[in-house]
Structure 1
Amino acid sequence: MGAHPAALIGAFVLVHAWLIAGNLLLPGLPLGDVQLVYPFWASLGIAGEGWVGIDTAWVYPYPALLPMLAVYPFGQGLAGSLAWLLLMTALNALALVALAGVQRDVRRVAAAWWWLGFLTVLGPIALGRIDAVTAAVAVMAAAVLAEHPRWAGALIAAGAWVKVWPGALLLAALVAARRWVDVARGFVGVSVVVVAIGVLLGGGAALISPLTEQTGRGLQVESPLALPWMWAAGLGGDSVIAYDREILTWQVTGPGTAAMAALATPLLAVVVAVILALAGIARRRGVTEELLLPALALALVAALVTVNKVGSPQFATWLAAPIVLGILLRAHGGLRFRVPATLALAAALLTQVIYPVEYGAVLRTETWMLVVLTTRTLLYAALLVWALVALIRAARGRMVSDGGEDPAAASREVEGASP
């Protein structure tokens, strides 16, 4: 497992021991969803009241029930919490194997060490939500994309059928990967099986409800788009924070929040369309997969995180896969990913401060926490801007490596003075 397997394995154990302890001991109810919400959803089907995602609309695709059902027999107490945390740890172990591999590959080892550092500073939320499943699967997909694109497509599908966001990696691969057809085949193969099983279980429109269930939501307090109203609430303005019992989350309301919530989805669609257009131009101009794919994947994922009215802390976990992809492809002439890798670590650290450590300060809109939220939002925006700059340079034909500009020089130009 890389040049120093014992050190990497030891670090993995220590990091996950810390994450498990943090989930069990830190304030702020880090495992609130695992202990309260997930068992409730699972119990509905077990009690014969209908399976969410199959019989009724749900915010997640129905396969997201699988890990919830897997730990349901252990109950909602300590046993159930440990079962969930150990299940997520096992998934991360698989991701480590996929990432570090079995050969002495320095780039893979570097990516694995970065990922473990990212998990460490992100803290309990790295394991304490359903996003931990998709984050691990997405890292696996990024790890095998270059050598095994069909497996990568299958893994992306597995992640997207738990929570939709890994679809961003599919879009990136379809535009920028040389073997995009293989990626598509892997994705379609898994998706056909999932849809067929869902239909056999009696599912209909509920199978696609995750695409529509978010449209009626307001601005969640941690969302980058909610930041102006959070400041207004903290400074004694007209904005108010309240708990929405229907969707089980804290939201901020005030003058203009309804309009912003309604605008969020169309705005995200426009941003994604612009990103894909830039990538399409770059692809037609001959920019290589190694240069284009990681920048495109990061741009799409950063857009999903930044231009989002939900903005849950666990969204930070999504950043790992495109960063890992960038680190891996650097070995083949890709962009230097030192800047976004550092920005992502800083955003993850602030996310841990926001949740669970000082979530009470978020709800009280304390000034220092508003500064933390603002800084974290600026880091997200910086990741998006970095990726957009890379795509713009690519679209202008300044990052071509086949018979054109040296890729190392191009990557240095994107990152400025980065060595």
Structure 2
Amino acid sequence: MGMDAVPLSAAPTPRAEAGLLRRVAFSPLSLWIAFLAVHLIISGLALDQGKGLGDVFLVYKPWAQLAAQGTQIVGVDSDWVYPFGAIVPVMLPLLFGADGYVWAWLNMVLLLNAAAFAVLIVGREPRRLIAAWWWLGFLLLLGPIAVGRLDSVSASLAIVGLLWLTLHERAAVVVLTAATWVKVWPAAILLAAVVALRSRWHIVLVAVTTSAVIAAVPLIFGAGWHILSFITMQTDRGLQIEAPVSTFWMWQAAFHVPGAEVYYDRQLLTFQVSGQGTATAGALMNPLFALTAIVVLLIGVRAYRRGTPYTRILPELSLALVTAFIAFNKVGSPQYVVWLAAPVVVGLVYQGRGFRTPAVLVLITAALTQVFYPFLYDWLLVPDPSMVAVLTVRNLMYFVILGWTVVALWRRRHRQEAAGDLVPAHAWPFRSTPGAHPEPVGGSAR
């Protein structure tokens, strides 16, 4: 009597396992769980001994309280280091009371990031989902500073503006202009859009009109020249210790060279470095940035005139200008790394793997930043040579990123190189056509 063979279930193949993993990773539930987990982690780290939230409860909260009491409205009654639009996110958390200001701040950032995340993932296009995972990894690697400054507000607005740009240009430019009135850096993205898109004069018109409406508010209340104080207040400050230009003197301070030391500026509430030549170096930063920005913009114009599609100009040019803004800035605060997220997100959405190199470089930059800020920041204040070494590598990364973007803009001249680029068919709540799918790039601009 023979025995019948017992059928065995086939073992899952690597392809099947990869498919399952992909489905899980790309499911909305997984993405939103990861989003909440990342924000809980970095917010929890920020709340640990107040690390990364110093500006929120020591600076933003007093500003909000003074304004609520009618004692002083920064940017209206006095000079302010930020554009006037920043008063909105500074004041909003106070609606939940002074005692709950920090919690309200973190929830405000969470909601803004959630809105940007929803715009990014709705539609479930693979490249956008990959960009969403990249953004979450970026936030986790950067750590508490990613939610503890006004820069996080402008960053989420910038991501939304870039995703809307090819679907509803007017709304996108309004959002990007509003972000610029919170922190100046999104102006670099608007400049990149002016170069990359044919509708440049429409972009300029909408941006100027939006700026006029925003500026009218403080002017009506008698702000006068205080409205431009965010520009003038930056000119007199010294070299902040994290800035790339400060690296030379940080090494001098680490090895106790006479005259080189880290000190605290009580007016600006920042740590700066002194030493022979720091004043001259600080004075050169704005001209160097202006020169670099002009050169980068001209390279972008060259790429446009050679027929390079905007999917190959807008992300690279945005990232180049934003990186130059950091690399030649005498402030160089750790939160400035947040600025790099928006250009990388849109680069991954448009180009996919074609934007992999800068995406990895920015992740490394974020991770290096968290090494010294906020938990080991005291070592940098000493300054400890090992921590200055980490800072040096992080600062060099800015120039590596800037170099990659410039080379990419210079060499990508043919439309065929962008044959695989995709323009999103929709970004909530806007759609190009009902039921549309991502479209391959067929022209040099809209």
Same fold (TM over 0.5): yes
Q: Identify the match of residue 395 of structure 2 among 377, 402, 407.
A: 377
Letter in 1 for 2:83: P
Q: Identify the match of residue 115 of structure 1 among 135, 140, 150.
A: 135
Q: Identify the match of residue 83 of structure 1 among 94, 101, 104.
A: 104
The answer for the alignment partner of 1:210 in structure 2 is: 230
Deviations 1:39-66 (A, max 9, x none): 2222333343331112221111112111
Is residue 28–residue 355 contact of structure 1 (8 Å, CA) maintained in 2? no
The answer for the alignment partner of 1:241 in structure 2 is: 262
Q: Counterparts in 2 of 1:6-405, with a 5 A limit?
A: 6-25=29-48, 29-74=51-96, 77=99, 79-101=100-122, 103-238=123-258, 239-330=260-351, 336-394=354-412, 399-401=413-415, 405=416
Letter in 2 for 1:6: L
Q: CA deviation at 1:148?
A: 2.0
Once residues 74 and 33 of structure 1 are traced to their aligned partners in structure 2, the CA distance between those partners, rounded to angstroms, is 18
- SS at 1:104 equivalent: coil
Q: CA deviation at 1:304?
A: 0.7
Runs of 4+ in structure 1 displaced over 4 angstroms? 73-77
Letter in 1 for 2:414: V
- SS at 1:241 equivalent: strand
The number of residues matched between the two structures is 396
Once residues 254 and 48 of structure 1 are traced to their aligned partners in structure 2, the CA distance between those partners, rounded to angstroms, is 41
When the two chains are superposed, the root-mean-square deviation of aligned CA atoms in Å is 1.9
Is residue 51–residue 375 contact of structure 2 (8 Å, CA) maintained in 1? no
Q: CA deviation at 1:365?
A: 1.2
The answer for the alignment partner of 1:413 in structure 2 is: none
Once residues 251 and 314 of structure 2 are traced to their aligned partners in structure 1, the CA distance between those partners, rounded to angstroms, is 37
Letter in 1 for 2:116: A
**Range 307-316 or range 192-201, more displaced:** 192-201
CA 1:307–1:373 in structure 2 vs 1: closer, same or farther (change >3 Å)?
Answer: same
- SS at 2:272 equivalent: strand
Deviations 1:23-48 (A, max 9, x none): 111x5732110011112222333343
Is residue 309–residue 418 contact of structure 2 (8 Å, CA) maintained in 1? no
Once residues 169 and 202 of structure 2 are traced to their aligned partners in structure 1, the CA distance between those partners, rounded to angstroms, is 6
Letter in 1 for 2:59: V
- SS at 2:313 equivalent: helix
Once residues 26 and 382 of structure 2 are traced to their aligned partners in structure 1, the CA distance between those partners, rounded to angstroms, is 48
Deviations 1:195-218 (A, max 9, x none): 122222222211122122201111
Task: Could you tell me which runs of 5 or more consecutive residues in structure 1 were left unpaired when the two chains were aligned.
Answer: 411-419
Q: CA deviation at 1:3?
A: 4.5
CA 1:179–1:5 in structure 2 vs 1: closer, same or farther (change >3 Å)?
Answer: farther
CA 1:406–1:67 in structure 2 vs 1: closer, same or farther (change >3 Å)?
Answer: closer
Q: TM-score, normalization: structure 1?
A: 0.90
The answer for the alignment partner of 1:407 in structure 2 is: 418
Once residues 13 and 407 of structure 1 are traced to their aligned partners in structure 2, the CA distance between those partners, rounded to angstroms, is 35
Q: TM-score, normalization: structure 2?
A: 0.85
Is residue 23–residue 30 contact of structure 1 (8 Å, CA) maintained in 2? yes
**Range 308-317 or range 376-385, more displaced:** 376-385
Once residues 212 and 377 of structure 1 are traced to their aligned partners in structure 2, the CA distance between those partners, rounded to angstroms, is 25
Is residue 61–residue 101 contact of structure 2 (8 Å, CA) maintained in 1? no
Is residue 28–residue 356 contact of structure 1 (8 Å, CA) maintained in 2? no
The answer for the alignment partner of 1:417 in structure 2 is: none
Task: Could you tell me which runs of 5 or more consecutive residues in structure 2 were left unpaired when the two chains were aligned.
Answer: 1-24, 422-446
Letter in 2 for 1:210: F
